[in-house]
Amino acid sequence: MTNVWIALFRGINVGGNNKLPMKDLTKVMLAAGLTDVKTYIASGNALFDYDLREAALEKLIGDLVETNFGFRPSIFLITLAHLEKLLVENPYRDREHQGKAQHIFFFKAPPEKVDRDLLDSLKADSEAYEINDEVMYLYAPEGIGRSKMVEKIGRAIKVDMTARNLNTVETLRDMAAELEK
The C-alpha atoms of residue 8 and residue 1 are separated, in whole angstroms, by 23
Domain extent listing, the chain: 4-82+170-180, 92-164
CA distances from 146 to 17, 85, 123, 150 (A): 22, 29, 11, 8
Q: Note the pLDDT of residue 15.
A: 67
Among residues 181, 170, 139, 160, the alpha carbon closest in space to that of 49 is found at 181
Low-confidence ranges of the chain (pLDDT < 70): 1-2, 15-16
Q: Note the pLDDT of residue 1.
A: 47
Q: Note the pLDDT of residue 16.
A: 66
- CA torsion angle 120 121 126 129 (round to 10): -20
Among residues 101, 102, 71, 80, the alpha carbon closest in space to that of 9 is found at 71
Mark residue 17 as left, alpha or beta (left: phi above 0; alpha: psi -120 to 50; beta: remaining).
Answer: beta
Q: Note the pLDDT of residue 100.
A: 87
Q: Note the pLDDT of residue 53.
A: 87
Domains 4-82+170-180 and 92-164 share a fold: yes
What is the CATH code for 92-164? 3.30.70
Q: Note the pLDDT of residue 129.
A: 97
The C-alpha atoms of residue 4 and residue 38 are separated, in whole angstroms, by 11
CATH class for the region spanning 4-82+170-180? alpha beta
Query: How confident is the prediction for the chain on average, in pLDDT?
Result: 93
Q: Classify burial at 170, counting beta carbons within 10 Å of its beta carbon; exposed 0-12, middle 13-18, buried 19 or more.
A: middle
Among residues 116, 114, 115, 161, the alpha carbon closest in space to that of 135 is found at 161
Residue 83 and residue 6 in contact, taking contact as beta carbons nearer than 8 Å: yes
